[in-house]
């Protein structure tokens, strides 16, 4: 019986894209098989629904092709039994386990949320936007003695602060599985404390964090705003941890001094360690991130598609991941080539609605600021007095309009690659805080206020 299903899986492996097979078909085991009915077992409910909705017909056709017979196929959740003959039916209703057992046991967190398996240092793509934050987090995780045992990771949503925070937990547990690592969001921490107060177990709550915690990883600490009692207790917990030379990592979208309704004592504790910022990745880093995601998922994505996604999806890393998952999934499900045309349809549904600001309006502002003409911006002139405003105009057009880079480049009589180069040049100038960065900021304010 098992040999029959193994043969079907071998056939499907040759028919389906490699990543689709590995993700959805390979984990399926055979529950039972008789003359007319087959029960296939998926590792969890999500997988069961996905396979039933998208691969039932493919599997049915495979049985017809290999055995010249159409079976009635149903799905359950669990792990296949090693019965023989007609088989023993085992579905979710037959008390099958909800999730397959992990092949190897991993160090477990003592409290809070689970660490994501792929949020490790080796999976983090380091760029100029994140090199210091990466180094600081790795140093804190790797050394028993450091200049400071506290780190505050600052960034907008989706730029990697959660990844680095959890990477610290993974690194510490890999070296010392007995370490008591608590990974928790500030919101969950506050909820846990409220629950302790309601059940008269506040002493247990305090003991847990003050004396039974070696590493505290607290996400989104800005959610403590206005929670006076929770802030007071956290201050006392941090004092215990700092005095015991324990490691603490906070993450937030706001600097400690910018979080409203946070008492001065907590602001002081949050600011006492190293504060490091993660900026949005530039174009080259975004391409490297997409390459890493493609490698992790086993996707074969053409370079021109990755460069297109990197140029159009510039908000954050999560948007990039969503983009590469979108194009590969759509290509797989529809059976169409993974090319720029397909990528364009996916990106169109992802990018935010930009303000009604046109490229021509931006050109007019830039020309006024730099004392050049529109004709010069669109010309082949390589004079610095023309190249700089042209690059600024292309950068601002990408930032403030919803036009794709091909359209922006064409508007300036430039190729797509030239437009990318212009954007990278301005991003670098802003990063270095050169005089151009002030000019860009000044023009940006005018754009946002609609003034020429």
Whether 289 has a pLDDT exceeding 90, the answer reads yes
Contacting residues for 108 by C-beta, under 8 A, at least 6 apart = none
Position 223 scores a pLDDT of 85
Strands annotated E in 142-246? 150-154, 181-185, 215-219
Contact (CB, 8 A) for 222 and 256:
no
Q: What is the pLDDT of residues 407-421, one digit of tens each?
A: 898 899 998 778 888
Position 147 scores a pLDDT of 62
- Domains defined along the chain, listed by start: 2-94 (3.30.300.180), 111-277 (3.40.50.300), 285-348 (1.10.8.60), 359-449 (1.10.1750.10)
Q: What is the mean pLDDT of residues 168-180?
A: 87
Check residue 131 and give left, alpha or beta (phi > 0: left; psi -120 to 50: alpha): alpha
Largest CA distance in the chain: 86
Contact (CB, 8 A) for 387 and 353:
no
Torsion of CA 160, 163, 169, 173, to 10 degrees: -140
Q: What is the mean pLDDT of residues 49-66?
A: 83
Whether 92 has a pLDDT exceeding 70, the answer reads no
Whether 27 has a pLDDT exceeding 50, the answer reads yes
Q: What is the pLDDT of residues 294-333, one digit of tens each?
A: 888 888 899 999 999 998 888 788 889 989 999 999 888 8
The SS3 assignment for 366 reads helix
Torsion of CA 13, 14, 18, 24, to 10 degrees: -30
Position 334 scores a pLDDT of 85
Per this entry, what is the length of the chain? 452
> How far apart, in whole angstroms, are the C-alpha atoms of residue 246 and residue 175?
16
> How far apart, in whole angstroms, are the C-alpha atoms of residue 295 and residue 56?
27
Position 353 scores a pLDDT of 42
DSSP letters for 28-46: -EEEEE-SSEEEEEESSHH
Position 75 scores a pLDDT of 87
Q: What is the pLDDT of residues 384-403, one digit of tens each?
A: 999 999 999 999 998 888 77
> How far apart, in whole angstroms, are the C-alpha atoms of residue 80 and residue 83?
9
Q: What is the pTM of this model?
A: 0.55
pLDDT band at 82 (very low <50, low <70, confident <90, very high): very low
pLDDT band at 91 (very low <50, low <70, confident <90, very high): very low
Closest to 62 measured CA to CA, from 43, 44, 40: 40
- With a pLDDT cut of 90, the percent of the chain lying above it is 25
Beta-bridge partners for 292: none
Helices (DSSP H) in 38-182: which residue ranges?
45-54, 56-67, 131-142, 161-175
Position 448 scores a pLDDT of 72
The DSSP bridge pattern shows strands 247-252 and 150-154 to be: parallel
Q: What is the pLDDT of residues 224-233, one digit of tens each?
A: 888 889 999 9
Contact (CB, 8 A) for 141 and 153:
no
Q: What is the mean pLDDT of residues 356-364?
A: 85
Mean pLDDT taken over the chain:
83
Contact (CB, 8 A) for 285 and 5:
no
Position 146 scores a pLDDT of 53
Whether 73 has a pLDDT exceeding 60, the answer reads yes
Strands annotated E in 168-246? 181-185, 215-219
Contact (CB, 8 A) for 218 and 189:
yes
If you search the block for the tokens 């010392």, which residue do you land on? 176
Q: What is the pLDDT of residues 106-147, one digit of tens each?
A: 444 445 578 888 888 988 988 888 889 998 898 888 875 556
Closest to 163 measured CA to CA, from 326, 321, 31, 362: 321
> How far apart, in whole angstroms, are the C-alpha atoms of residue 250 and residue 185?
9
Rounded to the nearest 10 degrees, the angle between the axes of helix 56-67 and helix 45-54 is 60
Position 102 scores a pLDDT of 45
Position 386 scores a pLDDT of 93
């Amino acid at each position: 019986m098992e040999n029959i299903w193994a043969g079907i899986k071998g056939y499907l492996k040759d028919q389906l894209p490699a990543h689709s097979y590995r993700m959805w078909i390979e984990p399926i085991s055979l529950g039972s098989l008789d003359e007319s009915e087959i029960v296939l077992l998926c590792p969890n409910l999500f997988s069961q629904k996905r396979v039933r909705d998208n691969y039932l017909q493919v599997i049915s056709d495979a049985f017809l092709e290999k055995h010249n017979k159409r079976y009635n196929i149903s799905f359950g959740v669990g792990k296949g039994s090693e019965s023989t003959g007609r088989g023993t039916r085992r579905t979710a209703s037959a008390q099958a386990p909800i999730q397959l057992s992990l092949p190897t046991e991993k160090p477990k967190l003592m409290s809070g949320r689970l660490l994501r398996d792929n949020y490790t240092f080796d999976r983090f793509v380091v760029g100029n936007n994140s090199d210091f934050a990466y180094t600081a987090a790795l140093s804190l995780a790797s050394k028993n003695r450091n200049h400071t045992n506290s780190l505050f990771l600052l960034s907008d949503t989706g730029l990697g602060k959660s990844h680095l925070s959890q990477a610290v937990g993974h690194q510490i547990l890999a070296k010392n599985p007995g370490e008591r690592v608590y990974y928790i969001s500030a919101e969950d921490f506050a909820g846990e404390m409220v629950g302790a107060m309601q059940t008269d177990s506040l002493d247990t709550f305090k003991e847990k964090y003050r004396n039974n915690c070696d590493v505290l990883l607290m996400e989104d600490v800005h959610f403590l705003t206005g929670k006076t009692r929770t802030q007071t207790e956290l201050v006392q917990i941090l004092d215990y941890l700092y005095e015991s030379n324990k490691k603490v990592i906070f993450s937030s979208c706001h600097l400690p001094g910018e979080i409203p309704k946070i008492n001065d004592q907590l602001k002081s504790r949050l600011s006492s360690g190293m504060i490091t910022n993660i900026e949005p990745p530039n174009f080259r880093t975004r391409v490297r991130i997409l390459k890493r995601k493609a490698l992790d998922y086993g996707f074969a994505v053409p370079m021109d598609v990755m460069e297109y996604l990197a140029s159009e999806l510039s908000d954050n890393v999560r948007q990039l991941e969503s983009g590469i998952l979108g194009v590969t999934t759509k290509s797989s499900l529809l059976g169409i080539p993974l090319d720029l045309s397909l990528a364009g349809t996916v990106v169109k549904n992802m990018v935010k609605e930009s303000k009604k600001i046109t490229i021509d309006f931006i050109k007019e502002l830039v020309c006024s600021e730099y004392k050049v003409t529109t004709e010069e911006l669109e010309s082949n002139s390589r004079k610095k007095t023309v190249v700089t405003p042209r690059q600024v105009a292309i950068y601002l057009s990408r930032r403030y309009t919803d036009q794709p880079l091909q359209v922006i480049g064409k508007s300036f009589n430039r190729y797509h690659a030239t437009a990318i180069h212009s954007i990278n040049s301005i991003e670098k100038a802003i990063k270095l805080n050169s005089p151009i960065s002030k000019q860009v900021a000044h023009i940006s304010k005018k754009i946002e206020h609609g003034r020429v």
